[in-house]
Amino acid sequence: MKVLLLAAGRSKRLKPISDKNFLNFCGKPLLRRQVEQLLETGFKDIVIVGGKHNLTKIKKLAVELSQLARDLNIKVIEQKNLDEGMAGAILAAAKLLGKEPVFIVSANDVVEASAYLLVKKAVLDNKYDSHIIGKKVDSYFPGGYLITGPGGLIKGIIEKPAKGKEPSKMINLVLHFHRNTARLVKELRATRSARDDRYEKALDNLIKAGVKMKVLPYDGYWQALKYPWHILNLMNYFMRQSISATNKPVHKLNFLKKGLNVRIAKSATIKGDVYLADGVQIFENAVISGPAYIGKNTIIANGALVRNSQVGENCVIGFGTEIARSYIGNDVWTHTNYIGDSIIGNNCSFGAGTVTGNLRLDEKNILVKINEERVNCGSNKFGLITGDNVRCGINTSFMPGVKIGNNCFIGAGIIVAQDIEDGKFAYGKTELTIKDNTAKTDTQKRKQMKRKI
């Protein structure tokens, strides 16, 4: 059986994040974590589908993984037309898949290993042609919904129904096993759709033709990476995973995992579950409150506070800075800043006094502009989102839910209340008025009083 790992998405809803597959979580890109979990659960024959925008990175990752796991058979294929979605990805890889059964996995649906093991067990059940992992949800999710009958037999799939029109509470996770790959490919080639549901329509056609598909109910952790705020959800999940992987004793409330050459000042405070990678330096009177992950060679300077956050590699969290519940990329520099509930890209710097707003005055949920639509992030606490290579001047304030594109400069002393596109220089005009000073300081007044006395 081959695994088809779908990683060609353009991350449109996550802009200015350029490629969600290579977001680093606790020192590893997401795509690598997905491949490693497949390997750990016994899936070793993997085809990764990428696009022109990330194919070079995927190929490089495939080489690295092949060197680490000798029994891994990994191939990379390009999906030329990304507008064809999931159906296009399968057709692009059709020759590599051949007639073998296929396990289709989204690189951006994060689940526990138990979901993969459910599929492994189902492969032995020859009564069904296909198995699909399904999960019950309590609130609307913009994805595919399953219509099921007795014994979990799938009667139909509806992709992205309107809110309130969901046919069930069971959503379709992109973890699909198909025993007859050739039949699936044939049906995909024959199916047409004006929407991005060609794959789902092909499955519907196969069901109507008598192909038996069964839902595999799954109740473990799941997070689809569709919107920027999902990055913070995954950050928290992977921080917990990184700590648990260190064999933390159950009875310990505070657990510190340190890499090599870590230096911690005696007056620094570390509490909760904290992971410090190689070369980290914690200066005097700094506080790290877990869960937290601090990446390689990062400095947490004097009097800085990091809480419930991930800080990437080669960062300087400068004097007096507070990082709260935020995802910080690599090579980020701060100095006397507040960054709360925010997502900061790589190679960004913040001038002294610059802050991120993360709470509306009316305390209602934050709305974020996604593809010209204002989308509710589901929380009343959400801050700034930046791409890579951003420079911010001193004493600049960012309003909640604002997005700053890649390669932007943001001037000093301004309030940024709207999104800034890639490659822009944003600044405000401040008029400076200069006139003669007729007022006297208290010191001058006291001198005059003394003369009179």
Distance CA 3, CA 35 (A): 10
With H, G, I as helix, E, B as strand and everything else as coil, classify residue 12.
helix
What's the rounded mean pLDDT across residues 32-36? Answer: 96
The residues with which 305 forms a beta bridge, in sequence order, are 287, 322
DSSP structure class, residue 82: G
Distance CA 178, CA 65 (A): 26
For residue 444 the two structure tokens come to: 């001058």
Residue 452 has pLDDT above 80, yes or no: no
Q: Count the residues in the chain.
A: 453
Between 179-193, 220-234, 249-263, 351-365, the lowest mean confidence (pLDDT) is in 249-263
- pLDDT, position 159: 85
Distance CA 55, CA 256 (A): 37
User: Measured at the alpha carbon of residue 30, what is the angle toward residues 408 and 259, in degrees to the nearest 5?
Assistant: 95
For strand 397-398 and strand 415-416, is the pairing parallel, antiparallel, or unpaired? parallel
- pLDDT, position 144: 87
- pLDDT, position 241: 87
Q: Phi, psi (5° rounding) for residue 281?
A: -125, 125
- Band of pLDDT at residue 142, cut at 50, 70 and 90: confident
Distance CA 117, CA 443 (A): 79
Average pLDDT for the chain: 92
- Pick the more confident residue, 70 or 146: 146
Residue 16 has pLDDT above 70, yes or no: yes
- Band of pLDDT at residue 335, cut at 50, 70 and 90: very high
Residue 450 has pLDDT above 80, yes or no: no
Q: Would you tell me which CATH number, out of the four given (3.30.70.260, 3.40.47.10, 3.40.50.300, 2.160.10.10), belongs to the domain 229-426?
A: 2.160.10.10
CA distances, 353 to each of 307, 329, 426 (Å): 19, 20, 17
124 and 207 Cβ atoms separated by less than 8 Å: no
For residue 242 the two structure tokens come to: 């990184």
CATH number for the segment(s) 2-224: 3.90.550.10
- Band of pLDDT at residue 195, cut at 50, 70 and 90: confident
Residue 283 has pLDDT above 90, yes or no: yes
Q: Kindly list the domain boundaries of the chain, sorted by start residue.
A: 2-224, 229-426
- Band of pLDDT at residue 443, cut at 50, 70 and 90: low
Task: Give the number of other CB atoms < 10 A from CB of residue 125.
Answer: 12
The beta-carbon contacts of 274-279 under 8 Å, at least 24 apart in sequence, are 275/26, 275/239, 275/242, 275/243, 275/246, 277/27, 277/313
- pLDDT, position 193: 82
Q: Which residues contact 350 (CB under 8 A, 6 or more apart)?
A: 333, 334, 335, 337, 339, 392
Residue 324 has pLDDT above 80, yes or no: yes
- Band of pLDDT at residue 451, cut at 50, 70 and 90: low
Q: Which residues contact 260 (CB under 8 A, 6 or more apart)?
A: 278, 279
Q: Phi, psi (5° rounding) for residue 410?
A: -115, 120
Chain segment 118-139, per-residue pLDDT in tens? 999 998 888 899 999 999 998 8
Q: What percent of the chain has pLDDT over 70?
A: 95
Q: What percent of the chain has pLDDT over 90?
A: 80
Residue 246 has pLDDT above 80, yes or no: no
What's the rounded mean pLDDT across residues 192-214? Answer: 89
Chain segment 356-385, per-residue pLDDT in tens? 999 999 999 999 999 989 999 999 999 999
Distance CA 251, CA 3 (A): 39
- pLDDT, position 124: 87
DSSP structure class, residue 195: S
pTM for the model stands at: 0.92
- Band of pLDDT at residue 247, cut at 50, 70 and 90: low
Q: Phi, psi (5° rounding) for residue 376?
A: -75, 125
Residue 448 has pLDDT above 90, yes or no: no
Question: Residue for token digits 């929380």?
Answer: 379
CA atoms in the 13 A half-sphere facing the CB of 434: 1
Residue 140 has pLDDT above 70, yes or no: yes
Q: Which residues contact 252 (CB under 8 A, 6 or more apart)?
A: none
